[in-house]
């Protein structure tokens, strides 16, 4: 069987050494030495400052909203954030969970990222933030989005769950906006089994978020406000340190797979994502846009017959999810969501596997 993805598992011997240290120290959580080491190493590797590790990527979003003052309103006050409907459910559900109404603006039909031209008209007196997504690691039009935010006095929180290690104009993409969140789920390019991080622009927001993720506790007998438990533990950090050690080898393999797909699937009845020319590619995903939803269903069925499992990622478009209560539909997001599949990409996929996948896609689309 060839799954759409497979978690990267690093050297067992190295992981065992980290685990031996955890057993010796018996320090399992609460900002242990491995969490501290991973924080330092990630800041260095990614070229960022003010990075905070958390227990998962959804809580990273929720903590960012609270740290930046997007959450928390008077009784009866409505707060909104403009975001994309073409994303994983957590982008929008995390807003709803925090009492912020997600307002969906449409995507660019070629880059599949939030279209800045659609954001401006969606701003109201209730809007507090813009939450764009670097879809499949493809950098948004950050200048245009941040121009809208500056004009209207809005916070910008980027969902960069897919954008680990992406550079933009020679600097880390993760330094853009007021905050950028990351997911370190097991299926991500870089992972800590479960986990996530927030990169803040300002150190003051980082310090506030540190209190938020530890119940608001600031000392053995001191609680300074409302908080939650969102801390990363030592076992998660141990996995992250091992995966980070092998990141370059991981990237080389994924790049070769991605480039093989790109070379084979140019033209025809499919379309590849238009990449931001100012940004690097981390080869996190291999999405392909087919000509119709019928072609998607036929291609997935044909691939399953030969033991290959793909995913309609992202489907459905979030503006069609009932509990958001959205009446209108965003045309481009719904169109792309119906026609997209992600092909397998992970370390361990062979040239023979890739050839089999490509031949099925080309046969169905011909």
- Span(s) in the chain for CATH 3.90.1150.10: 247-365
**Among residues 52, 333, 346, 98, which one has the least CA distance to residue 196?**
52
Rounded to a whole number of angstroms, the distance between the first and last alpha carbons of the chain is: 25
What residue ranges in 184-332 does DSSP mark as E strands? 196-200, 217-219, 222-223, 270-271, 287-290
Q: What is the CA radius of gyration of the chain?
A: 21
**Given this model, what pLDDT does residue 365 score?**
76
How far from 64 is each of 56, 60, 182, CA to CA, in Å? 12, 6, 11
DSSP-derived secondary structure letter, 3: -
Distance of CA 232 to the CA centre of its chain: 18
Query: pLDDT value at position 289?
Result: 96
DSSP string, 167-193: EETTEEGGGSSSEEEEE--TTSSS--S
Catalytic residue among 14, 155, 188, 338: 188
Residue 145: partners with Cβ closer than 8 Å, 6 or more residues away: 114, 116, 119, 130, 132, 156
Q: Distance between CA 284 and CA 342 in Å, rounded?
A: 11
Beta bridge partners of 158: 180
Span 12-245: which CATH code?
3.40.640.10
What is the predicted pLDDT for the residue at 74? 60
pLDDT at 267: 74
Cα-flanking dihedrals φ and ψ of residue 102, to 5°? -75, 130
Q: With b meaning 16 or more CB within 10 Å and e meaning fewer, what string describes 340-359?
A: bbbbbbbbebeeeebebbbe
Low-confidence ranges of the chain (pLDDT < 50): none
At residue 187, φ and ψ (nearest 5 deg) are -90, 0
Check if the beta carbon of residue 195 is closer than 8 Å to that of residue 54. Answer: yes
Neighbouring CB atoms inside 10 A of 215's CB total 15
Do residues 92 and 83 make contact, with C-beta atoms less than 8 angstroms apart?
A: yes
Q: What is the DSSP letter of 29?
A: S
Is 155:129 a contact under the CB 8 Å cutoff? yes
Interior CA angle at 24 toward 23 and 28, to 5°?
50
- CA dist 295 and 314 (Å) reads 16
Active site residue 188: yes
Domain 247-365 has CATH 3.30.2350.10: no
C-alpha 109/C-alpha 97 separation (Å) is 29
Strand order in the sheet with 270-271: 270-271, 287-290, 340-342
What is the maximum span of the chain, computed from C-alpha positions, in angstroms? 69
Token readout for 267 is: 């033209």
Residue ranges, comma separated, of all CATH 3.40.640.10 domains in the chain are 12-245
Confidence at residue 166, expressed as pLDDT on a 0 to 100 scale: 98
């Amino acid at each position: 069987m060839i799954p759409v993805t497979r978690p990267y598992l690093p050297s067992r011997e190295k992981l065992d050494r980290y685990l031996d240290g955890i057993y010796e120290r018996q320090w399992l959580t609460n900002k242990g030495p491995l969490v501290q080491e991973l924080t330092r190493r990630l800041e260095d590797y990614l070229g960022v400052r003010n990075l905070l590790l958390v227990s998962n990527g959804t809580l990273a979003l929720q903590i960012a909203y609270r740290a930046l003052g997007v959450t928390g309103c008077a009784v009866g006050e409505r707060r909104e954030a403009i975001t994309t409907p073409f994303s994983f459910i957590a982008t929008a559900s995390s807003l709803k969970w925090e009492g912020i109404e997600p307002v969906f603006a449409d995507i660019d039909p070629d880059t599949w990222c939030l279209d800045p031209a659609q954001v401006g008209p969606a701003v109201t007196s209730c809007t507090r933030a813009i939450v764009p997504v670097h879809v499949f690691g493809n950098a948004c039009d950050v200048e245009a989005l941040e121009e809208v935010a500056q004009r209207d006095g809005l916070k910008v929180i980027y969902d960069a769950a897919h954008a680990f290690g992406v550079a933009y104009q020679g600097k880390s993409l993760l330094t853009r906006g007021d905050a950028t969140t990351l997911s370190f789920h097991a299926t991500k390019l870089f992972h800590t089994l479960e986990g996530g991080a927030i990169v803040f622009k300002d150190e003051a927001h980082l310090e506030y978020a540190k209190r938020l993720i530890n119940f608001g506790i600031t000392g053995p007998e001191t609680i300074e406000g409302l908080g939650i438990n969102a801390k990363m533990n030592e076992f998660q950090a141990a996995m992250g340190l091992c995966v980070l050690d092998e990141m370059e080898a991981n990237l080389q393999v994924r790049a070769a797979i991605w480039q093989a797909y790109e070379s084979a699937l140019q033209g025809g009845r499919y379309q590849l994502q238009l990449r931001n020319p100012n940004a690097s590619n981390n080869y996190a995903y291999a999405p392909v846009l087919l000509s119709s939803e019928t072609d998607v269903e036929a291609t997935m069925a044909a691939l399953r017959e030969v033991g290959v499992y793909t995913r309609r990622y992202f489907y459905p478009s979030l503006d069609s999810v009932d509990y958001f209560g959205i009446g209108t539909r965003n045309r481009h997001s719904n169109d792309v969501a119906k026609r997209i599949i992600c092909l397998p990409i992970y370390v361990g996929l062979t040239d023979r596997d890739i050839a089999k996948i490509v031949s099925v896609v080309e046969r169905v689309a011909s």
